Amino acid sequence: MRLWLLLLPTLALAGADQLVIPAGLDAYLPVPEQNPLTREKVELGKKLFFDVRLSRDNSVSCATCHNPKLAFTDDRPVGVGVAGRVGGRRVPRIVNRGYGKSFFWDGRAATLEEQVLQPIQNPKEMDMTLEEVASRTGLPIERAQQALASYVRTILSGDSPYDRYLQGDRNALTTEQRLGLRLFRGKAGCAVCHLGPNLTDERFHNTGVGWPGDEGRYAVTKSEPDRGAFKTPSLREVARTPPYMHDGSRKTLEEVIDFYNQGGNPNPALDPEIRKLQLSAEEKAALLALLKALSGTVRDGM
């Protein structure tokens, strides 16, 4: 059950004042009925997000992997948790995840409330039990959970050159970036999956990255076409946060564009929209320039 709140001024009625949504995002931020957004919860959630007591050896907080200076990700190929334990997947940027429809690369969590407890209990990330977190922080776990999810909802990115262009400022994008946008929506087919205000369809596709390896969405659905499929990531702030893909295997955006240009990594479950693109060097450069226009202002809290 989701309550679609019209933020200004309706959010004030729900007890939350002044959550400013950056330009370019949907003015509606979905907030679950059971966890209305309040300033108090957001502030508590922010404290917990930076609190190393949520980890076994008091060395890791959510922000260790989700660094606010890097659009809430880090710069490593895969996450590293307590005692240097190495995980299996790239840390996602967490911006505009309040608009998300499922969470994690394989979508195994349906809500942010469900999501935020998993890193705490993951032996390779924070390695705690929920009881231990409750006793260390003196908070009932439901309160910590609601607060963390509320804070994550307020982490927003918008106001990028791309947003300003869509709002009518023709000069917000350079000529090269405008060519990039035409390719993104046309010849290169990127917008088939990377669409809407957050440049994601929130669905799962097999592009062949890492194949054969991580089974991705298959682990959740046990459906063969989902083997090796991962959630389309939002491309907001993407140019600032290498490396890329669920396994961090692509070091630069140039490598990502070359990967798509060659038709992904062919395999039996490859998405039909992934095909050879025949992009010229000039067209690849234009796509790259466009991706750089997707970085704007990142804000958190209220």
Does position 181 interact with ligand HEC (CB under 6 A)? The reply is: no
Identify the residue among 70, 130, 172, 192 touching ligand HEC (CB under 6 A): 192
Query: Smallest gap, in angstroms, from Cβ of residue 12 to ligand HEC?
Result: 26
Residue 84 burial by Cβ neighbours in a 10 Å radius (0-12, 13-18, 19+): exposed
Size of site (CB under 6 A) for ligand HEC:
54
Q: How far is CA 225 from CA 41, 143, 232, in A?
A: 40, 38, 16
Length, in residues, of the chain? 302
| CA 287 – CA 257 distance, rounded (Å) | 8
Pick the stretch among 29-37, 98-106, 163-171, 218-226 that binds ligand HEC (CB under 6 A).
Answer: 98-106
Binding mask 108-147 for ligand HEC (x = CB under 6 A): ----x--xx--xx----xx---------------------
CB of 159 to ligand HEC, least distance (A): 20
Q: Which two tokens stand for residue 34?
A: 């059971």
From 99, 104, 162, 218, residue interacting with ligand HEC (rule: CB under 6 A): 104
Cβ nearer to ligand HEC, comparing 6 with 251: 251
Q: In the block, which residue shows the tokens 């997947």? A: 89
Residue nearer to ligand HEC on the CB measure, 59 or 167: 59
Asked if 149 and 113 touch (Cβ cutoff 8 Å), the reply is: yes
CA distances from 144 to 68, 102, 259 (A): 20, 20, 41
Q: What single-letter amino acid sits at 228?
A: G
User: Should residue 66 be labelled a site residue for ligand HEC when binding is judged by CB under 6 A?
Assistant: yes
Least spacing, CB of residue 168 vs ligand HEC, in Å: 24
Closest C-alpha to 225, from 274, 267, 190: 267
Separation of alpha carbons 34 and 171, rounded Å: 43
Q: List interacting residues with ligand HEC (CB under 6 A).
A: 49, 54, 60, 62, 64-66, 79-81, 87, 89, 91-92, 94, 97, 100, 103-105, 112, 115-116, 119-120, 125-126, 148, 152, 188-190, 192-194, 205, 207, 209, 230, 232-233, 235, 238, 244-246, 253, 256-257, 260, 271, 273-274, 287
